[in-house]
Amino acid sequence: MHEESIRWPDGNIMALSVVVNVEEGSEMTVARGDRGMEPVDELGIHIRSPIRNYGNESNYLYGIKAGAPRIVRLLKAYDIMASWTVAALSLENYPEIAAAIAELGHEPVSHGWRWVHQFKMNEEQEREFIRKAVESIERTVGVRPYGWLSRYFHTDATRRLLIEEAAGIAKYKARKKESLRKMEAAQANLSRLTDIIQEIERSLSSLERQAQKAQQAKRIKGELLEKEMTWGRRKMRVLTQKLETLRAQKESLEHELISLRAELSTIEAAVEAELVEVVEEDAADTARLVAVLEEDDLKLVRCLRIRVVHIVRIQAPRDVGVGLHRA
């Protein structure tokens, strides 16, 4: 059996690979809206309730705030090249680490988009998980990751999906998927727009008919208004003439009434004078008649007395007559 011989540069007999693992900032935490805290805890404490574990948060934060700057200083001091296995979300939350990797010229290695169990995903979920991590690291560090480190286990599709992503196939598949999605959305929008256009065309036809009717109604209304105005002007002229005639008649009647009142006053004065004269004449005639009647009455009384005396004398005895005479 032939043993493979490996020759390292400069006759070195051993090669040392320095790997800096960055998971802090991508763990589960209620503080960033997760359902619970990260179950992996340096103190061995796992709280299932959805409450913040400040001790757990402090442990992870220590690596970012204290550990990372020290490692960067040591790597600079000893001019050591390192591979950084980073969870993409950690670099998004703490961009100063991404800036340090870029400044040192070290190679980033993807440790997933965030620190979760990749082996529980189906193929589509894992493909999206890999693509999302690669694009995130490329944005924060400026280069695509040089490798991949899964949390715990792989799936049967992991290696193939990584090869597709590295070869650009995954990007094209993602683009194809996105294009198909956009095409479906565009087709749906086209169908919706077609329906809207048909509805608008129907509405336009209806509106055109309404506009024609409105125009016709406007024309008829204008003609009617013009006729109404003509009839109104004509009626106004007639009424004006009639009003002038009535005013003239009124003025004539007022003058006639004044004349009649004057004439009536004259007639009343004449009648009153004539009545006075008639009354006076009637009074004189009445006085004369009364005088005549009184004179006639006296004559009649004398005649009756004479006649009564004569009758008595003829029919009565003498003594009776004497008695009567005495009486």
CA distance 53 to 46: 9
CA distance 129 to 273: 138
Q: What is the pLDDT of residue 321?
A: 46
**Structure confidence by residue, pLDDT tens digits, 228-254:** 888 888 888 888 888 888 888 888 888
3-state class (DSSP) for residue 22: strand
Q: Which of 123-132, 152-161, 217-226, 294-303 has the highest mean pLDDT?
A: 123-132
Of the pLDDT bands very low, low, confident and very high (cuts 50, 70, 90), residue 81 is: very high
**Structure confidence by residue, pLDDT tens digits, 267-302:** 888 888 877 887 788 788 888 888 888 887 787 777
Q: What is the pLDDT of residue 43?
A: 65
Mean pLDDT (the chain) is 83
| Residue 232 Cα to chain centre, angstroms | 44
Of the pLDDT bands very low, low, confident and very high (cuts 50, 70, 90), residue 327 is: very low
**What is the pTM (predicted TM-score) of this model?**
0.52
Q: Kindly tell me if the per-residue pLDDT of 319 is higher than 60.
A: no
CATH 1.20.1090.10 fits 9-167, yes or no: no
Average pLDDT over residues 43-47: 69
Q: Kindly tell me if the per-residue pLDDT of 305 is higher than 50.
A: yes
Give 182-203 as a DSSP string. HHHHHHHHHHHHHHHHHHHHHH
Average pLDDT over residues 135-158: 92
Contact, 56 vs 37, CB < 8 A? yes
Of the pLDDT bands very low, low, confident and very high (cuts 50, 70, 90), residue 1 is: low
Q: What is the pLDDT of residue 324?
A: 40
Average pLDDT over residues 11-27: 89
CA distance 115 to 110: 11
3-state class (DSSP) for residue 155: coil
